[in-house]
Every structure is written in C-alpha cells, then in structure tokens.
Amino acid sequence: MKILVTGKGGREHALITALSESPGKPQIFAYPGSDAIAELATRVEVPSLVALIEWMKQEGIDLCVAGEEALLVKDEGLANLCEQAGIPCWGPRRESAQLEASKAFAKAFLKKHRIPTADYTVCQTAEEARAALNRFPIVLKFDGLAAGKGVAVCPTRAEAESFITEVMEQRVFGPGNLVVESCLTGPELSVFASICDDQYHILMPARDYKRIRDRDEGPNTGGMGAVASREIVSPEVLARIEREIVIPTVQGLIQDGLRYRGFLYFGLMLTPDGPKVIEYNCRFGDPEAEAVMPLVRGDFVGYVAAAASGKLQPERIDFADGWSICVISASAGYPASSRSGDVISGLEQVEGARVYHCGTRKNPDNLFETNGGRVLAVVATAMTRVEAREKAYAESAKIHFDGLQRRTDIGQMHFD
Ligand code: AMP
Ligand code: GLY
C-alpha cells in the first residue's frame, strides 16, 4: 500500500512512525515532510496542491492522510480533490473543515445542534465587539486561521480593548469577524474520534499544556507537552461526552450534509456544569498525537485505509494501558518568535523513549539543528503517570541546544 501524509511537524512524524510500524509495511510518502521524516518516508516536492493530486494519481497512491489542517481548506480542498481523483482521503472535505477554519461556523453548528458550548456573539466591527464586552474575564476569537494566535482570554477590559484594536482595526490577521464569548473554567480535555460518515470511534483522550511556562503561566503556544491515558477521564464523564457532544456532532454533520471522514478533535472544558466544547479541530492534535500514537496497537494502516473508504472498523486497533507523556523542547524566543540554526546534541543518547521532530533540519555537517518554535517531542510510556513522567524528563534532559525552553511540570500539573 502507498500512503501519502501531508504535514511536516511532530504530529506527522508520530503518525508516520505509527503507520510504518503497522503490519503490512506500507510505502510512505510525505508532503512536504522534514529531514527527520525522510528517514521513514519519501518526501514529495511539488509546487501546488493541484500538482500534488496529479502526482498522487501518477504514483498510484492508495490513501492520503491529512496531518495538518491547512490543505483541507486550501483551493478546492485536499479531500474534495482526492475524491475527484478517486483517492481515499482521511481528512474531511473543505466545507466540513470550516468547523476548524471558522470559529463563527463552529459556534453556529454547536448552537443549532444544541451541543454545550460557551455563549457568544459574532461581531463585524470594533464597535460591536466593544459593546459585547459585558463581563470579565472574556474570550475573544478571530474568525479565521491565525496560527494559534487568534484567541485571547482577557482578564480585563483594557486587554480586551487592545486585542479588538489589533484584530479589528489594525487587522493583524487580515479581514474577518470577531467572536466574543463567555469564559469557561475547569480542566481542559482533548477527545479524539475517528468519524466516518454516520459512524464514530472514540480514541484515547489526552490533555495538552498550552502555556509556555510552568504552572500555566505566560502566553499560549502550540502546546508544550501532552499526556495521554484512559485514566485522564472517568468512564462516566467520557460517556457523558459521547452522549452530549460526540453523538450530536456526528448527527449534526449528517443533518447539515457535511460529509466527514477523518480524525475529529473535540477541545473541551470540563466545567462545573458539565463538559462544553471550546473548539473543533479537523485533524489530530499536536502535541497530543505524539503522546497518543505510541499507545496504538494493531493494524493502524488497515484501520485508516478502511475508514477512509467508508468502513469504520474499531476492532482493528487498540490502545495500550498506562500513560504516555510528551515533553516539548522549544527554541529561543518561542512563542513570540523562534530561532533556527541552533545545533542539537544528545539525540543519539536517548533510550527507551521516542523522539519526534517538530521543527528541525539537517545542517551541512548532517547534524540536526533547530528550525521552528517547537523543536522536539520526547515521549515515554509506562504503567504509571509518575514513571512515564520521570522517564520522559530523564530522556529529554539528554538533549541540548542553545536557548532551549522546556516546561518542568508536564504530567504533574492538573494531576497532583
Ligand atoms: P481555541 O483556539 O478556541 O481552542 O482557544 C485556545 C485556548 O483558549 C483554549 O485551549 C483555552 O485554553 C482558551 N479558551 C478558548 N475558549 C475559551 C473559553 N470560552 N473559556 C475559557 N478559555 C477558553
Ligand atoms: N494541541 C492543540 C492543537 O493541536 O491545536
């Protein structure tokens, strides 16, 4: 089987590793991939999405797996174009991927299908947004893709007003509306499901750590670490999430004619009033994929290929018991900026843990160096959380580069 995976980060490195370890030994290609991914997959160099589809047809690709979200909503959409070309695609059509690409679309979907979420108003102008600031803290969300920077949780009016000025007057993310919504409290949870038309399969839950510094201080990032385990959430709460959130979402997609085949990521807040949806993402999480993928057992390739062709077969895979903990090492300046070109040492000393490359490249001496904000994910699994945490940190500590930033409380905060 020939599989093409789109993306280039740690999530794709983890997905490609899991696919390559699956029985059947598929031949894997990555677009665009990375130097680290190139050790498992052949990188494809083409100038455009249309050229990629043409290349897939010529190469006889049997399955396309969408790692990142961007191509899902580019041009006519990755999945739509694959469908026209007769290539099964694991990742939703353009119109369904609006659940991630547009916050206003997602909120309208949630409201229409009575799925628990925060109250909200969609504002078209700065004045409307200012008028909607009725209590604090308050949450402001730019209605479009903004590389993880489009959401502000504002404790005060002054902070909210300055975000409104940047987004609605200075237009730092380009044109678009602003969603103003009430602030929810409680621990967050990432629930992943495979959706195949009217069928669904809930996968291993995870939790990510979005702030740059320990104790959830400092600005939001793409994620500084993640924990995956069945034990993160009780069977009762998971059953409630399935009943009140997952099932109505699947039914809503069908009712609205939004065909969906792919991973769907429910970003949830476990509030005192029950679980509520913060956001949908039309892909696996990053860094949650790095934590979850090492726990996958069984025929992962067969599972994804069958699901992309319309047959969801949960019995093909399983998830190991215990805990998986992922610790990210980020580069100097992240998240405001990032520094590339710092040489990484110690990679070859890591033992008994997995290393996924989020943002690295090989320099002319064939050594890996930093190439982005999040650089590496080190992931350890064990039967207990404490063991997994100790192992992940002991192995992460072997890795060095100038300016390295790493939280010390992944897998500890929100549990102790
Ligand atoms: P989003 O991109 O919508 O997931 O938002 C990014 C982060 O902002 C979330 O992971 C939460 O930490 C926070 N956030 C988003 N919406 C809310 C909300 N209504 N209440 C509190 N925090 C929120
Ligand atoms: N872990 C956050 C995300 O993937 O969007």
- Write the CATH number for 289: 3.30.470.20
- The last residue of a domain, from among 130, 163, 182: 182
Same domain, 51 and 145: no
Choose which residue among 12, 190, 358 to substitute to test ligand 2 binding: the one with the highest number of ligand atoms within 8 A of its C-beta: 190
CA of 59 to the centre of ligand 2 (A): 32
Structural domain includes residue 305 = yes
DSSP code per residue over 136-204: SSEEEEESS--TT-SEEEESSHHHHHHHHIIIIIS-TT-S--EEEEEPP-S-EEEEEEEEETTEEEE--
Residue segments in the chain with a per-residue pLDDT below the cut of 50: none
Closest residue to atom 4 of ligand 1, CA basis: 279
* 366-377 per-position pLDDT tens digit: 999 999 999 999
Whether the ω angle into residue 235 lies within 30 degrees of 0, i.e. cis, is no
Structural domain includes residue 86 = yes
Structural domain includes residue 410 = no
Same domain, 211 and 161: no
216 in contact with ligand 1, CB cutoff 6 A? no
Closest residue to atom 5 of ligand 1, CA basis: 151
Structural domain includes residue 406 = no
Ligand nearest to the CA of residue 281, numbered in listed order: 2
Residues whose CB falls within 8 Å of the CB of residue 381, separated by 6 or more in sequence, listed in order = 294, 295, 320, 322, 323, 324, 325, 388
pLDDT in the model for residue 416:
78
| Planar angle of CA 58, 55, 26, nearest 5 degrees | 80
CA of 203 to the centre of ligand 1 (A): 22
Q: What is the mean pLDDT of the chain?
A: 97
Same domain, 38 and 134: no
Ligand nearest to the CA of residue 277, numbered in listed order: 1
Structural domain includes residue 111 = no
How many domains is the chain partitioned into structurally?
Answer: 4
pLDDT in the model for residue 255:
98
Beta strands in 74-134 (DSSP E): 89-90, 120-123
Choose which residue among 278, 279, 282, 413 to substitute to test ligand 1 binding: the one with the highest number of ligand atoms within 8 A of its C-beta: 278
Structural domain includes residue 354 = yes
**pTM for this prediction:** 0.96
Closest residue to atom 3 of ligand 2, CA basis: 285
Same domain, 191 and 314: yes
| DSSP 3-state of 330 | strand
Of 273, 310, 284, 175, residue with least CA distance to 228? 284
Which element (helix H / strand E) includes 326?
A: strand 323-330
Same domain, 164 and 206: no
Structural domain includes residue 416 = no
288 in contact with ligand 1, CB cutoff 6 A? no
Same domain, 301 and 198: yes
Same domain, 197 and 314: yes
Same domain, 306 and 355: no
pLDDT in the model for residue 149:
78
Look up the CATH number of the domain holding residue 129.
3.30.1490.20
Same domain, 191 and 272: yes
CA of 61 to the centre of ligand 2 (A): 28
Closest residue to atom 13 of ligand 1, CA basis: 153
Domain that holds residue 22: 2-98
Same domain, 193 and 307: yes
Of 5, 34, 31, 8, residue with least CA distance to 20? 5
- The last residue of a domain, from among 298, 319, 340: 319
- What whole-number distance in Å separates Cα of residue 116 and Cα of residue 103? 15
- The last residue of a domain, from among 295, 319, 343: 319
Index of the ligand 1 atom closest to the CA of residue 182: 19
Ligand nearest to the CA of residue 223, numbered in listed order: 2
Same domain, 343 and 381: yes
Look up the CATH number of the domain holding residue 383.
3.90.600.10
CA of 266 to the centre of ligand 1 (A): 12
Same domain, 192 and 296: yes
Structural domain includes residue 113 = no
pLDDT in the model for residue 228:
98
Index of the ligand 2 atom closest to the CA of residue 283: 4
62 in contact with ligand 2, CB cutoff 6 A? no
- What whole-number distance in Å separates Cα of residue 400 and Cα of residue 13? 20
Ligand nearest to the CA of residue 155, numbered in listed order: 1
